[in-house]
Structure 1
Amino acid sequence: MITMVAAIAENNALGKDNDLLWHLPDDFKRFKQITSGHYIIMGRKTFESFPKPLPNRTHVIITRQKNYHPEGCIIVDSMEKAIEACPKDETIFIIGGGEIYTLGMDFADTIELTRVHENFEADTFFPEIDNTKWKLTSEEHHPADERHKFNFTYQTFLKSI
């Protein structure tokens, strides 16, 4: 199974200047819980936005740069090769950025989304979710609080065709 994991704003904003637009500790905790112990597929810029590789995960990085070889990572030049590099009998996760999510949309079975209930100025966006191909199967709302500046909702979508 292939699952895309993303946190996006109401206007599908993902980030700006290779950085996140919000700080939601519970969302970070959920991301860690979902992806730990698994292969994670990402673009080079997403990988470079991390202070260091994420622990307890195998990083598969899609890049067009021929001489890009961060230690301990699998480097490929297409979504097809990224998926081939992952175990066939495990859930793998596509974690961004915008271009990688667009490429992954045809391959994914599930989308685990954190919908932040605000609009943001951004330079990277999540692709539109086609309601004829994806079905919202669960939602869990989290109101803003002292640790979370914005309301947000966890949403799970399953491919319906």
Structure 2
Amino acid sequence: MLIMIAAVAENNALGKNNELVWHLPNDFKRFKELTTGHHIIMGRKTFESFPKPLPNRTHIVITRQENYNPDGCIVVNSIEKAIAICPENEDSYIIGGGEIYNLGLQYTDIIEITKVHHTFEADAFFPKINESDWLLVESEENFKDEKHLYDYTYETYIKR
């Protein structure tokens, strides 16, 4: 299965200046639990936003830059080539950014969203989920606390 995973604000914001604009430790923990041991597909800017490659995951980086070859990564120049590398009988994840989400949406089977209940100024956005194409099958509310400044909801969508 190809699974898209993202934390998205009410206005579909993903981030600004190649950084998240919120801090939700439980969402980071969930992301780690879901993606560990799997192939993860991302754009170059998303990859470069990490201090180092994420442990125990196969990184597939999509870029138009020739000769881009970070250690420990598979580099391709299209979403189709990235998907082709992923094992067919295992879950693989598209993890961003905005352009890669737009390119990958048509190939995605499941969307795992953390909906951050706030709006933010941003320069990267998640594509609008068309409810005629996607069915919300699971929703789990979480409320702000001493470690989380915003309410947020985990949502799982499957392709209709």
Indicate the TM-score class for this superposition, using the shorter chain for normalisation: over 0.9
Equivalent AA in structure 1 for residue 111 of structure 2: I
Could you say which residue in structure 2 is the equivalent of 1:124?
124
For 1:103 and 1:50, the matched residues in 2 are separated by 21
Specify the alignment match of 1:86 in structure 2: 86
Distance in 1, matches of 2:48 and 2:40, equals: 14
Counterparts of 2:87 and 2:108, CA distance in 1: 15
Shift of 1:72: 1.0
Long gaps (5+) in structure 2: none
Gaps spanning 5+ residues in structure 1: where?
A: none
Amino acid at match of 1:29: K
Mapping of residues 120-159 of structure 1, within 5 Å: 120-159=120-159
Q: What is the letter of the counterpart of residue 124 of structure 2?
A: T
Secondary structure of 2:96's aligned partner: coil
CA RMSD of aligned residues (A): 0.4
Q: How does 1:10-159 map to 2 (within 5 A)?
A: 10-159=10-159
| SS of corresponding position for 1:65 | coil
Deviation at residue 42 of structure 1 after TM alignment: 0.2
Cα deviation for residue 102 of structure 1 reads: 0.3
CA apart distance, 1:8: 0.4
Normalising by structure 2, we get a TM-score of 0.99
Shift of 1:58: 0.3
Q: Percent identity?
A: 62
The CA distance in 1 between the partners of 2:154 and 2:61, in whole Å, is: 26
Distance 2:137 2:86 in 1: 26
Which stretches of structure 1, 4 residues or more, deviate above 4 A after TM superposition? none
In structure 2, C-alpha distance between the alignment counterparts of 1:11 and 1:117, rounded to whole Å: 9
Question: Could you tell me how far 1:27 is from its partner in structure 2?
Answer: 0.2
Query: Deviation at 1:85?
Result: 1.0
